[in-house]
Amino acid sequence: MAPLSVCVFCGSRPGLDPAFEADAQRLGQGIAERGWRLVYGAGDVGLMGTVARATQRAGGHTFGVIPQHLVDWEVGKTDLTSYVVTETMHERKKVMFMNCDAVVLLPGGAGSLDEVFEVLTWRQLGLHEKPVVVVNTNGYWDPLLALLRHVVEQGFADASVLGYLTVVSDADAALDHLT
């Protein structure tokens, strides 16, 4: 059996709470320590860069996927085990998802929300059964989880959608869940 490939969606900024970077660091290190592969957006900034550097420092394999327009901005991390350049953001998400066995969401912004909502929608439509783990560092994702409950309460989704996400408090709990 091949080692687990974990796709991490997270911010291209570090955020204001130092716990965000600490969880990104711990997740990357833990992925490498377990012999797993990190799949991510190939950024060298924010939490993206933190998780990738932590994986590399611990001897792990990294698979980065970045669209050409971000390469042009020179924000790509090119010293990865595998580095793939796509034409579009949509293609980037597809390549990342097709090359992973599980998804972990760390704190992030609109891009992270876009990525996790696409994966959540695909799951709702029965297109995959991969685990999706939300790392709710210091309650960062509480408003998102409240919104999802609201969507269900207002009749726009079946309650089963809430079960497609596993919410954990920190990176160690995410690693334990995936183990």
Q: Which residues of 79-106 are buried (b: 16+ CB within 10 A; e: fewer)?
A: ebeebbbbeebeebbebbbeebbbbbbb
Q: What is the pLDDT of residue 105?
A: 98
The predicted pLDDT at position 72 comes to 82
- Secondary structure (3-state) at 43: strand
Residue type (1 letter), 42: A
Q: d(Cα 99, Cα 5) in Å, to the nearest integer?
A: 7
pLDDT, tens digit only, all 179 positions of the chain: 567 999 999 999 999 999 999 999 999 999 999 999 999 999 999 999 999 999 999 999 999 999 999 888 767 888 999 999 999 999 999 999 999 999 999 999 999 999 999 999 999 999 999 999 999 999 999 999 999 999 999 999 999 999 999 999 999 999 999 99
Report domain extents, the chain. Answer: 5-178
The 3 state secondary structure assigned to 80-146 is CCEEEEECCHHHHHHHHHHCCCEEEECCCCHHHHHHHHHHHHHHHCCCCCCCEEEECHHHCCHHHHH
Does residue 30 sit in helix, strand or coil? Answer: helix
Any residues with CB less than 8 A from the CB of 174 and at least 6 apart, and which? Answer: 27, 104, 133, 135, 168
3-state SS, residue 22: helix
- Assigned architecture for domain 5-178: 3-Layer(aba) Sandwich (3.40)
pLDDT at 76 (0 to 100): 84
pTM of the model: 0.95
Write down the pLDDT at residue 1.
58
Helix 89-98 vs helix 110-124: crossing angle, to nearest 10: 60
Selection from 79, 126, 133, 131 nearest residue 104 by Cα: 133
